[in-house]
Amino acid sequence: MKKHLNAINQVASLKAEINELNIEYKYLQQWQSQNLRPEELFLTNTDFPHKKQPT
């Protein structure tokens, strides 16, 4: 039972960390779009294949 609860806690912690990283990523994208020229952009959807490409 204890292992099961530990696993549930680990999953919850990882989900929270993923959410925080997604928020940071969105802020970085926003900062880039406001502060860099298009040729300077280095984080695009092609750098992250798990992200959906814009249609």
Residue 47: its pLDDT value, please? 56
Q: Which residues of 13-24 are buried (b: 16+ CB within 10 A; e: fewer)?
A: eeeeeeeeeeee
Retrieve residue 1's tokens.
């039972």
Retrieve residue 38's tokens.
């298009």
* Res 38 pLDDT > 80: no
**Cα angle vertex 17, ends 15, 19, to 5°?**
70
Residue 37: its pLDDT value, please? 78
From residue 13, alpha-carbon distances to 3, 10, 29, 34 in Å are 15, 5, 24, 32
Residue 51: its pLDDT value, please? 57
* Res 40 pLDDT > 80: no
Residue 25: its pLDDT value, please? 96
